[in-house]
Structure 1
Amino acid sequence: MYIIAYDIGTSSIKTILFDITKYTIRHKTTTKLTLYMPQYGYAEQSPEELWNAIVESTNKIINETSVKPMEITGIVMDTQMAGVIPISRDGEPLTNIMTWLDMRSAGYPRELFTGFPKIAGYNLFLLLRFLRISGGVPGKAGKDPLSKYSWIKNVQPEVYSRTWKFLDVKGYLTYRMTNRAVISVDEANLTWLADTRKPSISWNSSLVKAVGLDLEKLPEIKHPTEIAGQLTNKAAKELGLAEGTKVIVGCGDMTATAIGSGAIDDYETHIYMGTSNWLIAHVPQRKLDIQHYMGCLLSAILNRYMLIAEQETGSAAIDWILKTVYGEVKEEIYRKVDELALKVLPEENKIIFLPWLYGERSPIDDPYVRGGLFNISLENKLEHLIYSVIEGIAFNVKWAYVYYKKLLGQEIDHINIVGGGALYDSLCHILANTLNTKIIRMNSVRESSAIGASIIGLVGLKISDFSIAKKIVKPEKSFNPEPKLAKLYDKKFEYFIKLYRQLRNIYKEING
């Protein structure tokens, strides 16, 4: 018997067939997605193309394995977070999906950024109310769901008036499968319109009213391990599955990765190193550091939050330097990264790479900051550039880690690492020394989100509890810090911070 788990990003869908008796992946497939950027600040996906990609990937995995539809006991999804799609009462998408990259709604909701007195650009009294009740507040860049809701109401009032429910990416696909409009606790948390002071989350009418929205347009909140509904006859025929197959609520990609990293114990930390990167630990109480843009979302584990420090650019910086140098990057080029980095002695490298290629969230909420290679000379070669990029990524993680560790309030013995960037030994080694903490690469490094979603499915179907994650996800390789190198990186890290402080006003002048 099997679970089908979908890991839905902005560029592709990874679909896995998970064996619920052997706790292993039997088969996996990838289907490409298209991201549309019709004008500056817009980043959309077609809801119909997304559904068709789900159908294609499902049919493909069934056909390639000859699994019978009745052998699929459940479906579960983890998806890109903070996407928004309004649907009408008959389920019609009223716009394209506004993805997490979409920034057209910067400065919304206006209510939050107007009035007196102000602090950091926010209405002080409304800010305090949001922080007290929801534990967070939308950023100024317009990437949060609430900003998108408000933009639609103010800029596209005809769409708003026709909107029955605002759904996220997963919520839309769940509706197509079940005709049920639901949102998982983590995604509801991310709207900043719910009361999260206790894990029993609910929409807060006073916050909804304060920003001029209508409570009835928000979907029912459910826990990731609950059953959202069952496959309708129409959806089952399209997917090639059995009518009545259970659809588990699922969660966002961060939430699934937190499970699929194997770091499920309280305060146990993992790093995800992909296009973006983050630090996450499950914690029993809600925590917040607004100054450094760190806070909590509700977890897939009942009565637990996730403490999160997210950064915009992770190993995407390595992709950038490789594409800049080589143009089209093939698999063998990626394999050269560690080889090139090993040619450089840490004490001899004087270049400092600033990895802010797409602005930054934590520990600075700065949309204007940008990247750069500082202190290059004619004697530098490609290996110095590659090494510096890897080192700069690690310094940026350390910058967040300093405040994250303080907010966590616990000593950190080790950090599990997953994501495509974790495949670089050089990056794991430099991270261990920069953070002065043991880094453990897990065997789920490539499929941590999909594996996490599968584990959520196992719990939802009452086949297991979350402790199964420790049996499925295991250490692959450890990287221990070396005191001499840790001290060396501490000194260079000081220059990294100093550069930001010296340049931040210039970034704003150029990019503001």
Structure 2
Amino acid sequence: MKQFSLTFDFGSGSVKAALIDNNHRILASCNKPYLTYFPKMNWAVQEPESIWSIMQEATLEIIHASGILPTQIKGIAISHTGSSIIFVDQFGNALSECVMWMDGRAVIQANRLNKLIGKDLYTGKNVIAKLCWFMEKQPELIASAYKLLDLQGYLLYHMTGQMVYEFTSARTTRLFDVYKGCWDESKFDISGFPRRLVPERVVRSDETVGYLTSKASRLLGVAEGTPVFGGCNDHATAVLGAACVQPGDAHIYIGTSAWLAVTANDYQDVDTIRPSPVPGQWYHYLETDSGGACIDYLIKTYYQKEIAENMDAYSLVGDESTGVSSYAKVLFLPFLTGASAPISDVRVRASLLNIEASTSRGQIARAVLDGVGFNLLWLKEFYTSKQGWNINSLRGIGGGIMLPESVQTIANILGDPITTMRDPRFAGNIGLAVCIEVGLKEHPNGYDALKTSAAFDRTFYPQDEFRERYDRLYPIYKSAFYALSKIYNKLNEEKGE
């Protein structure tokens, strides 16, 4: 009887659930949205109990759609966006909302930490800074909490009864020493955050956390005792889903956010380095907070009529942006929730520049696609200045990769060919399936199996006729960022305070 991996990729606004076979084909899948709340300026929170309920709904739906038996699920793994905060009691009940990665409330606390260590390392979005915020603003919560978990740890507990942190996600707290593989006592001293609140056990991505409890079995419709694995944060599982398991393998991701990641063999004590799920490997990671979110904003704002008429607005964006003259001069800065890299500033916001009465919807669409591409070029430029640009290939994953015009635009701007994966939206789920397979010792050579099993779709090559346009606009884009950042800091100086 065939066996399948049950995988959940929790993004900023929805979860992609997928049953995946041994050939990394998707048997059944669904996408379930959940709400994000913005109760104050620069805050972003979710309801952990609601997300656990939605996970149950998604599981029941895809098992029913697939027609498989619950006993055919060989393992479960989840990924999440990382850098989230949930305080729980000893029974795993949430005592707080889930504070998201994009929440930038802790600007003052980050500045204090930076003064203490003598360098600008932390931002108002970093977990360690937000933990300082909680200690100052809600000391009673800190006193009553049993443990600090992230969304991944919260869901793992509700499946297994085990309170853990996963290795790639522990790094996002800034309390964990990824090189030594343990909690960093000096970070607790600097921040003052109680050491007792973090779980002692930190698991690998392919490590068995525990086994599905009888209660979780009833809620999910999966056999009791099914092994549950550590999983990864979203960009770590994307490394696997994009088959970036050799030094120099690189990928870009376009989802709610957008990022560039390049695999490396050697650890470096730099802020861009992250631990790979592959033992002994690392990757450099640079992110812009708004990628596909900008395209979604474009559609919700300028294509409302088409949405109401059930038209394919994404195809219209592609068609209309492609027809724009190469001499169009509208610019878009893609910072809907602040900037993370290469310059971090939680107060910066998105802007459309150089609009006039005759500006068409297509020109605005072109500017939005260009803006996302320009910031990826800025990430590439920053990475290249530190590490050089010696990559084997550049792969594309994420929901935004489903829009061909977006991928072609990025290839034109970066000047690099981009090869898309067969299932770019589900690359994270496929990465999780690999974690399960390695954990079950199904691959004698572990993650090396990805070198031959990865499924690619097509390659987008840079189009030389657009080189002059982007060489002209890119310096103006960066100048606009620097000029407007001063204005946004004045407009939004109360944010995070």
TM-score, structure 1 length as denominator? 0.89
Give 3-state SS (helix, strand or coil) of 2:359's partner: coil
Change (3 A) 1:18 1:284: same
Q: What's 1:106 paired with?
A: 107
Q: What's 2:18 paired with?
A: 16
Percent identity over the alignment is: 28
User: What one-letter code is carried by the residue in structure 2 that aligns with 1:322?
Assistant: I
Change (3 A) 1:226 1:58: same
Deviation sequence 1:205-250 (CA, Å, 0-9, x none): 1221221122221112111111111112222222222221100011
Does residue 485 of structure 1 match 2:462?
no
d(CA) in 2 for partners of 1:366, 1:48: 31
Deviation at 1:90, TM superposition (A): 2.8
One of 169, 176, 182 as aligned partner of 1:202 = 182
Does residue 320 of structure 1 match 2:297?
yes
Q: What's 1:94 paired with?
A: 95
User: What one-letter code is carried by the residue in structure 1 that aligns with 2:150?
Assistant: D
One of 132, 157, 161 as aligned partner of 1:179 = 161
User: What one-letter code is carried by the residue in structure 1 that aligns with 2:266?
Assistant: Q
Bigger Cα displacement from structure 2, 391-400 vs 164-173: 391-400
Deviation at 1:10, TM superposition (A): 3.1
Deviation at 1:357, TM superposition (A): 2.3
User: What one-letter code is carried by the residue in structure 2 that aligns with 1:215?
Assistant: R
- Unaligned regions of 5+ residues in structure 2, if any? none
d(CA) in 2 for partners of 1:326, 1:410: 38
Bigger Cα displacement from structure 2, 275-284 vs 331-340: 331-340
d(CA) in 1 for partners of 2:328, 2:35: 39
Does residue 152 of structure 1 match 2:134?
yes
Give 3-state SS (helix, strand or coil) of 1:446's partner: helix
d(CA) in 2 for partners of 1:368, 1:158: 29
Bigger Cα displacement from structure 2, 463-472 vs 294-303: 463-472
Q: What's 1:436 paired with?
A: 415
One of 228, 238, 256 as aligned partner of 2:219 = 238
CA contact (8 A) 2:111 2:122 kept: no
Q: What's 1:134 paired with?
A: none
d(CA) in 2 for partners of 1:269, 1:361: 20
Bigger Cα displacement from structure 2, 98-107 vs 174-183: 98-107
CA contact (8 A) 1:260 1:444 kept: no
Does residue 223 of structure 1 match 2:223?
no
CA contact (8 A) 1:86 1:166 kept: yes
Bigger Cα displacement from structure 2, 323-332 vs 22-31: 323-332
One of 253, 266, 270 as aligned partner of 1:272 = 253
Deviation sequence 1:482-505 (CA, Å, 0-9, x none): 345324412221111222233322
d(CA) in 2 for partners of 1:307, 1:446: 22
Deviation sequence 1:319-361 (CA, Å, 0-9, x none): 2222222226345111112211221232x21222222222211
Q: What's 2:65 paired with?
A: 64
Q: What's 2:437 paired with?
A: 458
Segments of 4+ moved more than 6 angstroms: none
Bigger Cα displacement from structure 2, 315-324 vs 479-488: 479-488
Q: What's 2:151 paired with?
A: 169
Change (3 A) 1:230 1:413: closer
Change (3 A) 1:159 1:124: closer
Q: What's 2:174 paired with?
A: 192
Deviation sequence 1:374-408 (CA, Å, 0-9, x none): 22333332222211221122111111110112333
Deviation at 1:17, TM superposition (A): 0.8
Does residue 35 of structure 1 match 2:26?
no
Deviation sequence 1:278-318 (CA, Å, 0-9, x none): 001121223466xxxx5112111111122111001112222
Give 3-state SS (helix, strand or coil) of 1:108's partner: helix
Deviation at 1:506, TM superposition (A): 2.0
CA contact (8 A) 1:264 1:469 kept: yes
CA contact (8 A) 1:412 1:437 kept: no
d(CA) in 1 for partners of 2:268, 2:426: 28
Please list, as runs of the form range in 1=range in 2, the aligned pairs for 1:281-430 lying within 5 A after superposition: 281-287=262-268, 295-327=272-304, 329=307, 330=310, 332-346=312-326, 348-430=327-409
d(CA) in 2 for partners of 1:51, 1:430: 37
CA contact (8 A) 1:5 1:17 kept: yes
- Unaligned regions of 5+ residues in structure 1, if any? 114-121, 129-136
Equivalenced residue count is 485
User: What one-letter code is carried by the residue in structure 1 that aligns with 2:149?
Assistant: L
Q: What's 2:480 paired with?
A: 499
CA contact (8 A) 1:97 1:169 kept: yes
Change (3 A) 1:36 1:498: closer
Change (3 A) 1:438 1:94: same
Q: What's 2:116 paired with?
A: 123
d(CA) in 2 for partners of 1:425, 1:30: 21
d(CA) in 2 for partners of 1:164, 1:110: 28
Change (3 A) 1:92 1:351: closer
Change (3 A) 1:148 1:370: closer
Deviation at 1:440, TM superposition (A): 1.3
Bigger Cα displacement from structure 2, 58-67 vs 200-209: 58-67
Q: What's 1:4 paired with?
A: 6
How well do the aligned residues superpose, as a CA RMSD in angstroms? 2.1
Give 3-state SS (helix, strand or coil) of 2:312's partner: helix
Give 3-state SS (helix, strand or coil) of 2:248's partner: coil
d(CA) in 1 for partners of 2:362, 2:109: 44
Bigger Cα displacement from structure 2, 143-152 vs 332-341: 143-152
CA contact (8 A) 1:267 1:408 kept: no
User: What one-letter code is carried by the residue in structure 2 that aligns with 1:382?
Assistant: R
User: What one-letter code is carried by the residue in structure 2 that aligns with 1:337?
Assistant: V
TM-score, structure 2 length as denominator? 0.92
Bigger Cα displacement from structure 2, 187-196 vs 495-504: 495-504
d(CA) in 2 for partners of 1:42, 1:360: 15
Give 3-state SS (helix, strand or coil) of 1:41's partner: coil
CA contact (8 A) 2:102 2:289 kept: no
CA contact (8 A) 2:339 2:348 kept: yes
Deviation at 1:81, TM superposition (A): 1.0
Change (3 A) 1:90 1:358: closer
Bigger Cα displacement from structure 2, 34-43 vs 447-456: 34-43
Deviation at 1:7, TM superposition (A): 1.0
d(CA) in 2 for partners of 1:80, 1:178: 21
Q: What's 2:122 paired with?
A: 138
Deviation at 1:47, TM superposition (A): 2.2
Change (3 A) 1:253 1:422: same
User: What one-letter code is carried by the residue in structure 2 that aligns with 1:502?
Assistant: A
